[in-house]
Amino acid sequence: MQIGTSLTHFLIESQRAHKAASGDFTLLMNDIVSACKVISSYVNKGNLIGILGSAESENIQGETQKKLDVISNDVFTNTLMQGGQVAGLASEEMDDVYHLPATAQRGKYLCVYDPLDGSSNIDVNVTVGTIFSVLHAPEGVANPAEAEFLQPGTEQVAAGYCIYGPSTIMVLTTGDGVNGFTLDKDIGEFMLTHPNITIPEDTSEFAINMSNQRFWDAPVKRYIDECLIGKEGPRGRDFNMRWVASMVAEVHRILTRGGIFMYPIDSKHRERGGKLRLMYEANPMSMIVEQAGGLSITGPDRIMSLAPQKLHQRVPVILGSKNEVQRVWDYHKA
C-alpha cells in the first residue's frame, strides 16, 4: 500500500484479502492502537501530570515498577478487556494470567504484552515502547489458564511494538512482512511511513552491554573480540557499538539501518535462563525481525522454535542482520 495509508485502512484492506476473515482481528488491532495512543500521550506529558518516578512496588521479576509501568499496564489491559476480542491477557506487570470478568465478552485471541519496555529510562527521557504478541485462544475455553498461553513463537498470529520517541511509531507484522506507521497527532491516526521493512543482511554495528563481558560464554566473547579488533582482525572492518538499554529502541534501530542486538546468556543469569522474557519480548521481536529478513536466536537455538515452559520464562536473545547473527550461531555450534 502507498505511504500515507492509515493503519485503519491498511487493516481493512488486509482483511479483504482474506475471504474467511471475520473482522475480529481488525477490531483487536484497533483496540491495541487505541491503547498505544493513550500510553503515548502519558509518556509525552511525563512529569507535567506527575507520573514519573517509582511506583514503590515490584513486578513478579523483582523489578521496581515505575508509575508509568502500572499506568500503561492498566490502559492496555482495560482497553483490550473491554473490546471483546480476547479470551485472556498476560503481561510482564501481572503475576498471573488476567482472567476476564464473568460478564465480559470473550473473543478468539490471547494477547501477551510488555506495556512499557525500557521503563528504567523513562525518568531520563530516553525512548521506551510497548511490545505485544497475539495468539489464538483455544476454542471452548472461557477462562484460559497459563497452559493455553504457552505456544511457541511460530504460532503467533501477529506481533508488534509501539515506540515512543521523537515520533510515535507502530511496527506490525501479521506474518506477511513488516510495516511501520507513524502517529499523526493532528488527526489522531497512524499513517504508513515505513512500508515493507527489510533488515540489511550485513552490518558493522552491534549493541550489547559491555559491562557484562566477563560473564559471557566463549562464543559471544569470540564474536565481540573480533568486532573490537576491527579491520586489523579477521573481520577486516571496523564496528561501532550502541547500547540504549531499551529493547524497543534497539530493535527499531536494527529495522531502520541494520545491526545486531545481543543479550546473551551469562553466568549472572544462567540459573534464570537469561534476562529477557520469551513470551512478551523475545517471541514478538523475533517474529518481527524474521519477517524483515533477519535472524533471532538464543545462541544455540532459534527463539521462535522454543516450547515455552512458563509465562514469565526468560531466554537469551541475539537478533538482527542475518549474516551477523548466523556467524554467532555458527560459533555456538562449533
**Annotated binding residues:** 92, 114, 116-120, 209, 275, 281
Helix (H) or strand (E) holding 40: helix 24-45
First vs last C-alpha separation in the chain: 44
Binding site listing for Mg(2+):
92, 114, 116-117, 281
DSSP state of 314: E
Cβ(32)–Cβ(80) below 8 Å: yes
Strand runs labelled E in the chain: 54-58, 64-66, 86-91, 109-117, 128-136, 158-164, 168-173, 178-184, 189-194, 205-207, 240-242, 260-263, 276-277, 295-297, 314-315, 317-320
Let me know the angle formed at the C-alpha of 117 by 149 and 205, rounded to the nearest 5 degrees.
Answer: 110
Give SS3 for 237. Answer: coil
Binding site listing for substrate:
117-120, 209, 275
Cβ(181)–Cβ(163) below 8 Å: no
